[in-house]
Structure 1
Amino acid sequence: MGETKPPDEGHPRSELSRRLRHAMTEKDLSQSTLAARAGISKAAVNNALNPKKGAPTPHTLGMLAKALGVTGESLHTLRSLRDRADTRTRQHSPQLHGYLDAAARAVRQHPFPGMLPGATPPLADVYVGQRLRELPSGAATSAAAEMLLWGMGNCVVESDPGGGKSTLLRTSAAKAISHLLEGRTKSVPLLVSAADLAGRSLLPEAISASVSAELSEVGLLETLPAELIRTEPYPGARWLLLVDGLDEITDPASRRRVLSKLTASADKGPFRFIVATRQLPDEEFGALDRTVVRYELQPFASRDLRQLAARWFSGLGVPDPEHAAAAFHAALARAHLDDLAHNPLMATMLCQLYAAAPGQALPTGRTEIYQRFLDLLHERQHTAGNSGIRTQTRQALERHGARALALAESMLDHLPALISHLAVERHRGGDRPTMNVLMSQPAAGCPEGIPRTVWADFLTDSLRRSGLLSLRRGELTFLHQTLLEYCAACHTEARAQLLRTIFDKGWGRPWPWTRRIWTPPGGSLRSLWRDHDDSSYLGFLLDLEAENGPDVARNLCRLATHGGLEGAAFIAEQARMGTLISEQTLQAARSTLTSLARDPRANNVHRSVAVKTLVQWGDRRALSAAAAVIADPDVDEIPGRAQALIMVSVGDADALAALAQDPTAPAFARAGAAAALSVANDRRAGATLASVIRDPVNNEAAREFAAHMLDRHRSKRSSRKKTNRARKPPRE
C-alpha cells in the first residue's frame, strides 16, 4: 500500500504542522524535549508534526502550545487551523463551525468581576472543580462538571450568591466544545442568560439573538440562525442549553415562563438544559418535568481552596505560589475567614487582595471584602502615568476646552456615586439605557460644546475601566449580581429609607423578606420568602448601616430573640453569607432555633425547618434537635418521620452512625439516623438499617420503617451502579 499523500501546501493540516515546527525551531527543541516539557508522549508530538496524520486533539495542541510559549493571536490561529483540519468536524455547517470557534474563545474568559488590569489568568488556569449535592435528599455526587456533561437529563444547579454557578457553566461549555471536537460527545453547548429568554419570543429566536449578540465581541461573523437551533445541530447531535442567572429575573412569572419554555423545548426538540440560579421557592419549579434533577453546588473544601489560591497566585505572578497559598490559608484563619473563603467569589477576591498586599491584614467580613476590593480597583484605574484614566481623559477631551475637561474631572470624582445610583436603578428593576440614567444626574450631564456621542463614549469607557461593569449587547451591565447589590447598598439615601421600613416592622409578624429554608411536599411557607430574594443585598445594607451606630445591632438581637423562626433563620443566613453579626445575636438565634425544634407544641413543619437551619449553619446542636423531632410520635404528617435526620445527612456521618447504633435512643431516632446514612450514601447504611430491623427492643413501626428504607437503599445502590456505567465517558 502506498504512503498517504500529505495535504496540499496551504491546507490547514499542513499549515498547522509548519507553524508547530517553526515554533520548535525558534525554541531550539527536539521532539523528545518538547514531549517532556509538554507532558505528552513522543508519538503524540510526532503525529502532531506530521501533516499526513490526523489533527491533534485540542488538549494535545494546548499542551504543545504551552510548552512552546505560543499565546495570544498565534495560539488562536493554531486552534483555528486544528479545527479546520479535523475531519471529525467536517460534518459541521460553516455557521456552526463559526459559532463553535467564537464560543470557544468566549468561555475562556473568567466570569468573576474586577480582574485586575493586565493580570487576568485564563479561566482554565485557575478553575477548581466543585461538588454537587442532589436536592432535596442530600445525596453527594461525583465531580460537578463531569457529572453534568456526561449526564443525559435536564437539571437545575442552585447555590448561594457567588457560589460558582457562572464559572461552572463556562467550564462546562468549554469542556463540551473540546469533547465535541474530539468526537467524544454530540452535545453542542449554547451559553445564554436567562433574562434573554424571558420575553415573548420563541425559544430558538431568543437563543439566536442572545448568542449572536454575546459572541459578536469575540469574532462571531455570522448569526447563528434560529432555523439551525430548531433542529439537530447535525445528525445524531443535540443542543446543550446552559442557562445562567435565572434568579436575576426579578419577576416570578417571567422566571416560570423561562422554565416552561425550556421544559416544552426539551420535550419536543433536540435540547437538553442546565439552569443555574440562586435558591428560589420550590413552587417556582412546578413548571419543570418530574425527571428534572435539582442540585446544590457545594462550597470549596479546604484542599480546593488552597489549590485555587496557588493557581491564582501563579497566574498573578506571585513568587513561590505554593508557599504563598499556605501563608494565605494561615492569614484566612487569623482573620476568621475560613468559612467565608470557601465561597468561590469570596475566595477569588481574597486571593487578589492578598496578592496585592501580602503583609496587610485581610478584611473582617463580606462587606469589607467588597469595600477593599473596589478600593483596589479604583486605585488601579487612577494610577499615574499614561495608562491612568486621568491622563487618558485629558488626551481625549482637552480639545473641547478647559471647562469641558474640568467637568470630566468632576465626573470622575463622582464616579463611585454614579455607579451606586445606576445600581439602585437596576436593583429596583429599572431598564432605562445606562447613558440615560447617568446623564440625568448633574455630575454626569453632557457639557455644552461636547457632542453627546463623545461624552457617552467617555462615560462608557470610564464605567468599563472601573472593573465593575462590562458592555453586553451594547449595554453596560454589572459583572456580577453581588457587585450590583453592594453598589446599590452603598447609596446612602436608598439604604436609610429601606432600613427604616425594615426595622419599623413588628417582630411578631412574618418577615416577607426572609428566605425560606425548606418547604415540605404538600406544605407551604410563603411567609418565609418574598417574590425576589434580597438576602444578599440586605446583608450589605446591614453591614454598611452598622457603621453609623448601634441601632442595627440592637434590632438584629431583638429579631433573633423575638422574631421566631423567620427572624432566627434570617440571622443564620446572614451569618453564613459573612454579614457581621454580634456573638450575642448569634447565640440568641441558635437558642431560638434549638428551642423551636425541641418544642413538641410547635408546628411540625417549622420544627423541621429549624433543624435544617441549624444543619446549614453547622451548629453542633442540630443532631440532638433532629433526634427530638424524630422521637416525637406526633410528627407523622411530615413525609417520613426520619425527615429531620435525613437533613442532617450533610453533617456528621459518624454521629449519625453512633445514634443509629445507640440502644438507649428512641426507636424512630435510630431508624431515622440509619436512613440518613443511606441518603448520604454512607457505606455503613445497609448494615446499620439491618441492625435496627433485628433489634427486638425497637417497636414494630420503627422496624417496618427501617425495612422500607433498606429496600430503597438496595434499589438505589443498584440503580446508581447502572447509572455510573452509563455515564462513563468513552475512551479516546
Structure 2
Amino acid sequence: MPAEAVFTGEEGEGGVRVLLAGAGGGKSTLLRRHLADSADRWLSSELDSPARQSARQSSARRPVTPDPLAPPATVPVLIRAVDLAGTPLLAQALANAITEALGPFGLREPLAEAFFRDRPFPHTSWLVLVDGLDEVPDHGTRIALLDRLAREADQELSPYRFVVATRPLPYGELDRLGPDAGRFSLQPFSAADVRTYARGCFGDLPDPDRHVKVFRAELKRSRLGALARTPLMASMLCQLYAADPTRPLPEGRTGAYQSFVELLYEQNSHKGVANTHDAAISLLKGRHQIASDIAAAEQAAQAVRDHLRKLIDLLADQRLKGNTAPAVETLDAHLHVQRPAKVKEARWHAFLGDLLRPTGLLAERAGDFDFLHRSLLEYHAARYATRDEAARARVLEVLFPHRGTTAARYWQPPRLEPSYLGFLLDGLLVPGDSLADATAQALDEIAVLGGDTTLSFLTAQVALRTCLPAHATALKLARFAERSPMIDGRARAAAALAELDGHQEEGARLLSYLAARTDTNLIDGLAAARRLASLDGHEEEGITLLTSLATDPAVLLPTRVNAAAALAAVDGHEKEGLRLLTAFATDPALDGRARLHAAEHLVRMDAHHLEDGLQLLAAFAADAALGGHVRIDAARFLAERGDERAAGLLVRLASDTSMSGHDRTLGAAILARLDGYRQEGAALLARHVEDTSLHEDDRVAAAQNLATLDDDRAADLLTGLAADTSLGADSRAWATRILTEIGGAEG
C-alpha cells in the first residue's frame, strides 16, 4: 500500500500506528514529508474564514463530540521520542517541541501548553508524529513511553492520534501498545525506484541516463545494490558518484560511510569552513589584551580544532550511551585540552559551537547539535569505540567473552543495534592486524559452533555488508539453508549466502532448490522464489517459480495467493500478479479466507486498485454465504482503511442472529473502537452479555470487551455472570477474574 496510508485511517482503531524500518529506511523523511504536505493542504484551505476561526475558538472551550460522518482530518505535529520521554505531560512536550522548531522562523513567544490540550478544530485530531522510539536508550524508559501512548490513545474522545517511527525493537516491546495498534513496515526501494532516484540526482551531469547505467554497474561490482535500496544509502552513494563519476564506489557499508564523511569534509573546503574556523579562533583570542592570555586561548583553540574529528566521534559515543547534555557541554567535560583560565565558560562553549556548526555532520536545533542521521551517529560512535588498539581489545572482549572455549557454542549476539554492531565489527576487522585475526577467529567459532540465534546475526550482518570472514560464514549459511527449524530460515540463509562475495551462484542454486522442491516448507519455497526474482542474473528464474507457485492447483491456496502478490511486486510483472489476485478474489468456488487475503493484497498494491479491493471487501462483509469470521475480518480491514462503509457493516454483523456469538461479539468490539461509534458498539456488547441464547463464553467475552471500554455497565454485568449458577464453573471463574482486575485497576 502507499506509504501515506500509515497516516490515514479511523481514529478509533486503536489510536496508535507504528512505522517500522531498518537503519536509513526513510522513516524520518516520511514523517517530515507528511508534515510538509499536510501544512500545504491546511494552508491552501480556508483556515482564515470566520467559520473556521469560530470553530477553533469553541474547540478550545469545550470537548468536541466527533461526528462519525465527518471526513477524517488531522493536524500533524512532530516530536522526537527522547523529548517526549523526558517531559511528563504530553501537551507540554508538544508545546516545547513546536516552539523550538518554529523559533528560528520568527515565532515571537512560546506556544502555550493549553493550545495542545484540545482538538485543533472540531472533528480534527492532533496527529503526533513520534520519531525515533529506538533512540530512547533505556528499556524501562521506552516501555514507560509506550504505556503512556497506549493510555492516551485509549481515552474516549482523546484529541490525539499517534504515529510512532522506530527501528525494530526487542521482541514484545511494541505489544505494550495493545492489539489495536497498527504496524506498518516501510518497504525499501525497488530496482526501478533506485533508477528513478539516481536519475534525479544526476540531472546536472551530462547525459544523466548514461551515468545511471554506470552507477548501476558500480552497485553491482561493489555488491552495494541491496544496501542502495535504503533511502539513506541511496542518497549517500549517489552523492559519492556525482562528486566524481570516475572514482569507483567504496567497498562495504563502513567504506561508504567513510567516503561520504570525507566527501563532506572535501566540500567543506569549498564552503570556506577553514576560514570560518579561523574566524572563530580569532574571535576567541580577540577578547583578550594580555599577550599570554591571547597565546593561551589560541593554543587551546587550535588544539581543539586539530582534534575536531575525534571530538565528533566522542560526542557520538556519548549520545549513543544516553548522554543528553548539550553537545558543547559534553565536549567540554571530555576535552583533552583544558579551557584557559581567562576564557569564560560561556565564551568557550560558543567557540565549540562555532567549530561544530559548519562541519556538515551535525544539525543545530534549539541551541544544541544533533547528528544528521542515527546511522551517522552509530558510525562515529563505533569509530570512537575502536579508536586505538586498547579500545579495540576491549570491544573484542565484550563482543566475544568466551572465544577460544567450548562455551562459544552458546554465544548470543550482544544487545546492540545490528547497524552499530556492524560498524564495531568492521572497526575490529578492517585494520588487518592481530586483533583483526582474533576477531575473525571468534567469528569463525560462532559460525561453526553457534546455534540458531547465529542465523539472525549472520543474515543481518551480511545484509549490512559487514566484513565477516567469508569462508566460515558461507559454510554456516549453507548448513542453515539445508536445515533450519526457524520459519523461512532456510530461504533466509540461502539468500544471505547469495549476497556473500564469491558465493552468489551457490546461494542462487540453493534458492532454486528450495523453491522447486515439493517437500520444502512452503514458506521457505515462496521466500526463496521471491528472493531469486530480485537476484541479479536470476530474475527470470524467480519469476517463473513465482508464476508456477501461483498457478499450480496442487499448491495450497494461501501460498498461491502470496505468490501472486509477490509476482505483482516484481518490476514489469505487476499486471500478471494483479490479474491473478483479482481472479482469486472473485472466484466464488474458492475458500473465503483466501479470497479475502487476495482482496487485501489488491488494496495494498497501489491506488489504482484500491477501490476495486475495497469494493470486494465490502461485498465479502455483506455476503451471507461466507463464513462469519471472513465477513468480520473484511469489515475490520475496511475500518482499518478508514472506509465509511465499515461501521454500517459492523452494526449489521454484530446484530445478525445467524452469526456465531463469537463473531457477533468481535464485530461489536471492533465497532466500539471506531471513532463516533463507541456508544453503539458498547450497547451491542451489553445486549450480548444479557442474551442467554449465546454461549456463556461469548457472553463473558462481551463483558470483558465492555470492561476494556471503561463502560459503567461492565461491573454489574460481570457480577451477574459470576453469580449465575446456570453457567459453568470456568465461565463464572473467568468473570470473577475480570471483576478482580477491574477492581485492581480502580484501586
| Bin of the TM-score, shorter chain as denominator length | 0.5 to 0.7
Q: Tell me, yes or no, if the aligned pair for 1:561 and 1:568 is still in contact at 8 Å.
A: no
Hey, what does 2:348 align to over in structure 1? 455
Hey, what does 2:464 align to over in structure 1? 577
SS in 1 for 2:483: helix
Q: How does 1:298-697 map to 2 (within 5 A)?
A: 298-314=187-203, 317-382=204-269, 388-399=275-286, 400=288, 401-491=294-384, 492=387, 493-505=390-402, 506-513=407-414, 530=415, 533-548=416-431, 549=433, 550-597=437-484, 604=485, 606-612=486-492, 614=494, 620=508, 621-622=510-511, 624-625=513-514, 631=519, 644=524, 651=531, 652=533, 654-659=544-549, 670-671=556-557, 673-677=559-563, 680=566, 682=577, 683-684=579-580
Q: Tell me, yes or no, if the aligned pair for 1:657 and 1:673 is still in contact at 8 Å.
A: no
Match of 2:17 among 140, 152, 155: 155
Hey, what does 1:144 align to over in structure 2? 3
Structure 1 distance, partners of 2:530, 2:35, is: 29
Change (3 A) 1:440 1:181: closer
Change (3 A) 1:429 1:385: closer
SS in 2 for 1:358: coil
SS in 2 for 1:299: coil
Amino acid at match of 1:306: R
Question: What displacement does 1:690 show?
Answer: 11
Q: Tell me, yes or no, if the aligned pair for 1:645 and 1:672 is still in contact at 8 Å.
A: no
Amino acid at match of 1:295: F
Write the deviation string for residues 152-205 of structure 1: whole angstroms up to 9, x where unpaired: 354211111011111111111111122223349732110111111213612222
Q: How does 1:131-210 map to 2 (within 5 A)?
A: 141=1, 143-145=2-4, 147-152=5-10, 154-183=16-45, 186-199=73-86, 201-210=88-97
Q: Tell me, yes or no, if the aligned pair for 1:188 and 1:233 is still in contact at 8 Å.
A: yes
Structure 1 distance, partners of 2:602, 2:185, is: 24
Hey, what does 2:179 align to over in structure 1? 290
Question: What displacement does 1:464 show?
Answer: 2.0
Q: Tell me, yes or no, if the aligned pair for 1:169 and 1:242 is still in contact at 8 Å.
A: yes
Hey, what does 1:713 align to over in structure 2? 597
SS in 2 for 1:243: strand
Structure 2 distance, partners of 1:425, 1:385, is: 29
Q: Tell me, yes or no, if the aligned pair for 1:642 and 1:675 is still in contact at 8 Å.
A: no
Structure 1 distance, partners of 2:515, 2:169, is: 25
Q: Tell me, yes or no, if the aligned pair for 1:649 and 1:676 is still in contact at 8 Å.
A: no
Match of 2:107 among 220, 242, 247: 220
Hey, what does 1:15 align to over in structure 2? none
CA RMSD of aligned residues (A): 3.5
Amino acid at match of 1:166: S
Amino acid at match of 2:9: G
Q: Tell me, yes or no, if the aligned pair for 1:690 and 1:707 is still in contact at 8 Å.
A: no
SS in 1 for 2:408: coil
- The structure carrying a bigger helix percent of its residues is 2
Question: What displacement does 1:311 show?
Answer: 2.5
Change (3 A) 1:308 1:347: same
Structure 2 distance, partners of 1:610, 1:584, is: 18
Structure 1 distance, partners of 2:391, 2:489, is: 32
SS in 1 for 2:137: coil
Amino acid at match of 2:169: L
Structure 2 distance, partners of 1:448, 1:220, is: 38
Change (3 A) 1:715 1:470: closer
Q: TM-score, normalised by structure 2?
A: 0.65
Write the deviation string for residues 201-243 of structure 1: whole angstroms up to 9, x where unpaired: 1222222222222322233334333322221101221111111
Structure 2 distance, partners of 1:223, 1:646, is: 55
Structure 1 distance, partners of 2:559, 2:512, is: 9
Change (3 A) 1:329 1:715: closer
Question: What displacement does 1:616 show?
Answer: 7.5
Q: Tell me, yes or no, if the aligned pair for 1:159 and 1:297 is still in contact at 8 Å.
A: yes
Q: TM-score, normalised by structure 1?
A: 0.66
Structure 1 distance, partners of 2:306, 2:454, is: 40
State percent identity of aligned pairs.
Answer: 33
Which is further off, 229-238 or 197-206? 197-206
Structure 1 distance, partners of 2:17, 2:32, is: 16
Q: Tell me, yes or no, if the aligned pair for 1:674 and 1:685 is still in contact at 8 Å.
A: no
Q: How many residues align?
A: 536
Q: Tell me, yes or no, if the aligned pair for 1:675 and 1:689 is still in contact at 8 Å.
A: no
SS in 2 for 1:470: strand
Structure 2 distance, partners of 1:347, 1:172, is: 21
Question: What displacement does 1:412 show?
Answer: 1.0
Structure 2 distance, partners of 1:389, 1:571, is: 45
SS in 2 for 1:440: helix
Structure 2 distance, partners of 1:236, 1:689, is: 35
Change (3 A) 1:190 1:688: closer
Change (3 A) 1:219 1:718: same
Q: Which runs of 5+ in 1 are unaligned?
A: 1-140, 514-529, 598-603, 633-640, 695-705
Structure 2 distance, partners of 1:203, 1:565, is: 42
Which is further off, 434-443 or 617-626? 617-626
Change (3 A) 1:444 1:324: farther
Amino acid at match of 1:473: A
Hey, what does 1:73 align to over in structure 2? none
Question: What displacement does 1:287 show?
Answer: 1.8
Alignment of 1:249 onto 2:249: no
Structure 2 distance, partners of 1:589, 1:448, is: 59
Change (3 A) 1:191 1:688: closer
Match of 1:277 among 155, 166, 178: 166
Hey, what does 1:134 align to over in structure 2? none
Amino acid at match of 1:412: R
SS in 1 for 2:153: helix
Which is further off, 229-238 or 606-615? 606-615
Hey, what does 2:686 align to over in structure 1? none
